[in-house]
């Protein structure tokens, strides 16, 4: 085909496409998701897209279906305490560094109920511009760490509400989430707990080997997900049913029994335990509101009641 024929063919094709586009039916309206439809419905009822409910900071009544917000803490290190029976208790100290509500998400606006909690302080010059704009739009100070906790509608709190250590009570169980320590590249024995190869006859320079990793000609490959040497650590882990031994409202410190993931100085996220649910009659709901005449600097630490029986003594 000559160059003139190819040019004529391309022009005729463009004319045909233009005519076909003009004769087609108008496109169908877009399909919105359920959350967008709820938001549009709320806007139509209120008449203002930015309008939302008024959330008040006042105590409420907690039900079995209620879900409170969590908190962000800094891991300060580990220590040990001795109870009144002389038993040694390993303890991890957590610091709730100036936790406040930095954003509220409601069903009318975002399609879900959640609270964004901010922890610590950070200078504006050390933040990205979108982060600075977010804090300025919410009218809260610059925060170092943010975390979103899903809650129920009766547990919503206004922006700027302080979440202190008295949000939790001594003796309750919580779930603590954090990032584990980085171990670098490790072998199969340390990473997965393999026992290794025989340490006596017939194992020359392969005592810590992982052994066979595949099969014969069928399938003739190593399956994905095989436990092998590789990078270890820096994974998100949750330790469930951590018992709170003591809280110090004056310094916003919390003593929990056992170990929590992460190195000293890392952030951890605390929320009410899922399996060992605390007594709802003892928890402040939706959080603890400090009275105006209360001096936080003079408060004494609160210690959990261990009871009269030694839990470490064997039954007769």
Asked if residue 118 belongs to a domain, the reply is yes
Q: Can you tell me the distance from the alpha carbon of 58 to that of 145, in angstroms, rounded to the nearest whole number?
A: 26
Is residue 108 in a domain?
A: yes
pLDDT of the residue at 266: 96
Average pLDDT, the chain: 85
**294 located within any domain:** no
Q: Output 203 or 4, whichever has higher pLDDT.
A: 203
More confident residue, 134 or 86: 134
When pLDDT is averaged across residues 1-30 and rounded to a whole number, the result is: 59
| Whether the predicted pLDDT of 16 surpasses 70 | no
Helical spans, DSSP H, in the chain: 3-23, 34-46, 129-138, 188-192
What string of H, E and C letters represents the secondary structure of 169-183? CCCCEEEEEEECCCC
pLDDT at 81: 87
Q: Kind of pairing, strands 145-150 and 162-163? A: unpaired
Mean local confidence (pLDDT), 237-263:
95
Could you tell me which residues come within 8 angstroms of residue 151 by beta carbon, excluding any fewer than 6 positions away? Answer: 67, 68, 69, 113, 114, 115, 286
Is the residue at 146 inside a domain?
yes
Whole domain around residue 108: which residue ranges?
71-182+232-286
171 within a domain of the structure (yes/no): yes
Tally of domains within the chain: 1
pLDDT band of residue 309 (cuts 50, 70, 90) is low
What's the pLDDT score for residue 216? Answer: 87
CATH number at residue 130: 2.40.30.10
Whether residue 1 lies inside any domain: the answer is no
Q: Is 36 helix (H, G, I), strand (E, B) or coil?
A: helix
Coil, helix or strand at residue 1: coil
**Lowest pLDDT segment from 32-36, 161-165, 186-190, 238-242:** 32-36
Supply the pLDDT for residue 307: 73
* 188 belongs to a structural domain: no
47/54 Cα distance (integer angstroms): 16
Mean pLDDT value of segment 286-301: 88
> Cα 205–209–214 angle (5° rounding)?
130
Predicted pLDDT of residue 295: 84
Domain membership of residue 316 (yes or no) is no
Would the pLDDT of 111 be above 80? yes
- Strands of 142-235, DSSP E: 145-150, 162-163, 173-179, 184-186, 230-232
Residue 272: strand pairing partners: 174
Q: What distances in angstroms separate CA 132 from CA 105, 106, 142, one per listed residue? A: 19, 22, 7
- Do residues 79 and 254 make contact, with C-beta atoms less than 8 angstroms apart? no
> Residue 140: which of 117, 174, 157, 108 has the closest Cα?
117
Percent of the chain whose predicted confidence (pLDDT) is above 90: 65
């Amino acid at each position: 085909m000559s160059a003139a024929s190819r040019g004529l063919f391309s022009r005729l094709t463009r004319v045909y496409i233009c005519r076909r586009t003009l004769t087609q039916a108008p496109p169908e309206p877009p399909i919105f998701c359920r959350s967008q439809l709820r938001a549009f419905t709320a806007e139509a009822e209120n008449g203002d897209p930015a309008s939302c409910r008024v959330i008040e900071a006042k105590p409420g009544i907690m039900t079995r279906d209620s879900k409170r917000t969590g908190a962000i803490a800094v891991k300060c290190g580990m220590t040990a305490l001795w109870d009144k029976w002389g038993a040694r208790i390993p303890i991890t100290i957590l610091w709730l560094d100036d936790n406040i509500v930095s954003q509220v998400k409601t069903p009318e606006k975002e399609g879900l109920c959640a609270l964004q909690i901010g922890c610590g302080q950070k200078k504006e010059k050390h933040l990205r511009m979108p982060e600075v704009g977010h804090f300025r739009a919410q009218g809260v100070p610059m925060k170092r760490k943010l975390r979103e906790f899903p809650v129920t509608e009766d547990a919503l709190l206004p922006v700027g509400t302080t979440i202190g250590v008295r949000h939790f009570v001594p003796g309750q169980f919580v779930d603590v989430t954090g990032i584990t320590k980085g171990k670098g590249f490790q072998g199969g024995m340390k990473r997965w707990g393999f026992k290794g190869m025989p340490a006596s006859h017939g194992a020359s320079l392969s005592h810590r080997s992982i052994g066979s990793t595949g099969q014969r000609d069928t399938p003739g490959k190593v399956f994905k997900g095989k436990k092998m040497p590789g990078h270890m650590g820096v994974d998100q882990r949750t330790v469930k049913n951590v018992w709170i031994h003591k809280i110090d409202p004056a310094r916003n410190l919390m003593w929990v029994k056992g170990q929590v993931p992460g190195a000293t100085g890392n952030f951890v996220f605390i929320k009410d335990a899922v399996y060992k649910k605390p007594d709802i009659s003892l928890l402040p709901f939706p959080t603890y509101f400090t009275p105006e005449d209360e001096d936080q600097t003079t408060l004494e630490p609160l210690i959990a009641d261990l009871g009269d029986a030694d839990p470490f003594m064997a039954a007769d």
